[in-house]
Amino acid sequence: MNRTLLRAGTLVDGGGRTRADLLMSDGKIVAIGDFSQMSTENVEVIDCTGLMVLPGGVDVHTHLDAPLMGTTTADDFATGTVAAAVGGTTTIVDFAMQIPGSTLTDSLQLHREKAKGKAAIDYGMHMCITDLYDGAIDELTEVRAEGVSSLKVFMAYRGTLMLHDGQLYDVLRGASRVGSQVCVHAENGDVIDRIAADLVAQGKTGPGYHEIARPPATEVEAVERAIRISRMADAPLYFVHLSTEGAVDAVGEARMAGWPVSAETCTHYLTLDRDIYDQPGFQPAKAVLTPPLRTFEHREALWRGLNSGVLSVVSSDHCPFCFEDKKRLSGDDFRAIPNGGPGVEHRMSVVYGKGVATGKLTIERFVELTSTIPAKQFGLFPRKGHLGIGADADVVLLDPDGTTLITADTQYQNMDYTLYEGWSLPGKITKVFARGRLVADKGRFVGTAGRGEYLHRDGL
């Protein structure tokens, strides 16, 4: 029997904070209270005085070992989940990409095989639909039976990932019938393609033009259109990686009207500025991700959206492509640069340091956004996402008086850069437990590869 007592910490859940002891046994949280008189024979006791005891992070937007834009993401399930664990994330939900020419179920099984024996933390999967072949909608029942209760569709990247509006409508209707939810990448792909083609024709091919080709209006229009289509289909939807003030407003209006629309934003949209695209040479390629980074007024709108409840999740959208690979694949045309960047390792530290420590978020709201609500949104609660008796013992110890320094040289992500290079942030994650086992200690991974379990997820 593996028993650990976390003594005298400040336990934080969405409902509030309290000073208490927490007992973990055989992978579960089994008791919370004052255990100062309890016998500690055969119990490991950890003094948590001065520390915050948080539920492990739940990151519902990662791309590990994923084939995208002619290459594969740099982190597989081994390196990516180790990086997540070190950063305080104990559960991920990854995207299984539909392989060209393959069925949804075959593609899902292929992605599940990639994780077996590698994942260091527990994981679930979404199913990306990129080819709505005859019979694909009928397969949603089988996908749902495999514990995948969420699907993703793209409104951009025509010819590779994008579904047209009628297909989006079909997926929404089909998903609603089987009790699954649809995640939408909302950008007007056709307009983006036209703008990009005009830029290239003018000789504007450098990586910084990626942002020019994707103005805020291309996201806002797609969000508004997707909401209308969802209403026609009488189905809820969830927007991934929103980056603009207009998108927040559109989601807020739909929610005020009583429509079941939910949305996330990502760490980088909250904290980074579009001025990286003005850097010389190929440096802007590090931030060639979609949507691109925005200006101050958009960042402020995202923070407001998190506090008002319009936005309910902060994910990483960890889609890692090394800088050297981006350069190799670009071919002097920003359209060929793989879209994506790293983030799963630093999500919790960045949101705490730039959110809680600066007063933009309460610690309770931080827990909701990075753990509890994503667990509820994607069918993982109450097993994940809170400090409750019977929940998995996924626990993070955070020292609010500590400091976190982020550098590419010390990260576990299989990357040659980080967008947060040199950042020194308030707060330090000191220990991370996944199902009761210590997996990270003072920034070092001490867990076991392959211990992560596949999570069969329920619907909403």
Residue 460 has pLDDT above 60, yes or no: no
> Is residue 164 situated within a structural domain?
yes
* Least reliable range by pLDDT among 28-42, 170-184, 234-248, 380-394: 28-42
Residue 303 domain flag: yes
Per-residue model confidence (pLDDT) at position 178: 96
- Interatomic CA distance for residues 123 and 164, integer angstroms: 30
**Amino acid code (one letter) for 89:** T
Between these two residues, 40 and 382, which has the higher pLDDT value?
Answer: 382
Domain that holds residue 186: 56-377
> Same domain for 87 and 48?
no
Say yes or no to pLDDT of 167 above 90: yes
Q: Does the pLDDT of residue 115 top 80, yes or no?
A: yes
CATH of the domain at 322: 3.20.20.140
Model confidence band, residue 185 (pLDDT cutoffs 50, 70, 90): very high
Strands across the sheet with 150-154, in order? 57-62, 89-97, 122-128, 150-154, 181-185, 237-239, 261-266, 313-315
Query: Higher confidence at residue 357 or residue 328?
Result: 357
- Does the residue 216 lie in any domain? yes
Q: Is residue 382 part of a domain?
A: no
- Do residue 148 and residue 284 come from a single domain? yes
**What's the Cα-to-Cα distance from 340 to each of 61, 63, 71, 435, rounded to whole Å?**
12, 9, 12, 30
Name the domain count of the chain: 2
Answer yes or no: do 430 and 352 share one domain: no
Longest dimension (CA), the chain: 75
CATH code, domain carrying 18: 2.30.40.10
In a domain, 383, yes or no: no
148 shares a domain with 183: yes
- Report residue 299's pLDDT band, with 50, 70 and 90 as the boundaries: very high
Across 148-171, average pLDDT: 97
Does residue 185 sit in the same domain as residue 235? Answer: yes
The pLDDT tens digits for 1-24 are: 689 999 999 999 978 999 999 999
CA gap 414, 411 in Å, rounded: 8
pLDDT of res. 359: 98
| pLDDT in the model for residue 50 | 98
